[in-house]
Structure 1
């Protein structure tokens, strides 16, 4: 007999890392591969004691992708997904996503060499990620950046 139960969602924090292309000024975002499956994701992790959710997301961006920049304490949004754990257990997670305007990419960082990093358009990023909620969040944030750009609002740090 298999027992079925639903755990409450666990929270994670993520950074939506973006920048403006040097030549065109167009916004693009950073996608990275997960270490276990190689699927395209954004930097994310568990909350950290003594840090706000946004600060934890900023730390994950540094550890996983080697990026630093201007962090927004205001969430871009949130999405749900099921995280595969050891032993095949899947845990529902609610991911709070915070924008990070990247101003610096470091050559050395904790997870260097264990992930691929690519700067792509928001459309391409949305096409690469698997989670429907993250796709929608990326599309919405990218659309909002384009609207700000068209309105003449400066997106640079």
Structure 2
């Protein structure tokens, strides 16, 4: 199924959000509100949601529209990678999540790994910056445009623990990866991270 509708609605929402941020004309503001409504109707139609629900979500976005930032920690140990099991869907993912305001990406990923797995880590290097919306990654569609930052992390302590978002934390080989939470990470990304681990001289991927 083509996801052009998602790209169109996100772009229209961004135009409307930026216009409403900077417009000083009430007439222009009214037009930008109309564009936001059209964007909400497009997304609601194909996502099978109520237009009022989507429009309410859009209206909470303020300022200049930019992609959100998601960080993920690739923690390798004995040729295995750390995954955590999500409470939300019962599937597995790399520990990580949104970067909070006021923290750097590296701080965010160290925090997320500890909160979701119980392990203490330190950053080794940036492995990849991926555009979640790019078709080659094959993530299920969401309303946000997201950049995903993958960091290699070194295990320095701690023990496996559950959290408010996760129920398990465990290490897996490249050939024993469990069912993944595809909204968060996809198999091709896990495979690529293992390749980076085996080739430490590689530079970071992008897009």
Q: TM-score, normalised by structure 2?
A: 0.53
Tell me which of the two structures has the higher relative contact order, counting C-alpha pairs closer than 8 angstroms and 6 or more residues apart: 1
**Which residue pairs with 1:71 in the alignment?**
123
More strand by share: 1
Structure 1: runs of 5 or more not aligned? 21-26, 85-89, 149-157
Runs of 4+ in 1 over 6 A off after TM superposition: none
Structure 2: runs of 5 or more not aligned? 1-37, 45-57, 59-65, 133-138, 201-207
Residue from 125, 128, 140 that aligns with 2:179: 128
Cα distance in 2 for partners of 1:123, 1:134 equals 14
Matched residues, number = 135
1:77–1:91 distance in 2 versus 1, CA, 3 Å:
closer
Shift of 1:63: 0.4
**Which residue pairs with 2:7 in the alignment?**
none
Give 1 or 2 for the bigger CA radius of gyration. 2
1:139 aligns with 2:191: yes
The answer on whether the counterparts of 2:110 and 2:122 sit within 8 Å (CA) in structure 1 is no
> Which digits, 9 at most, give the CA deviation of each residue in 1:76-97, with x for residues without a partner?
343524577xxxxx44433211
Provide the aligned C-alpha RMSD in A.
3.3
Residue from 46, 51, 61 that aligns with 2:103: 51
Residue from 35, 50, 69 that aligns with 1:11: 69
More helix by share: 2
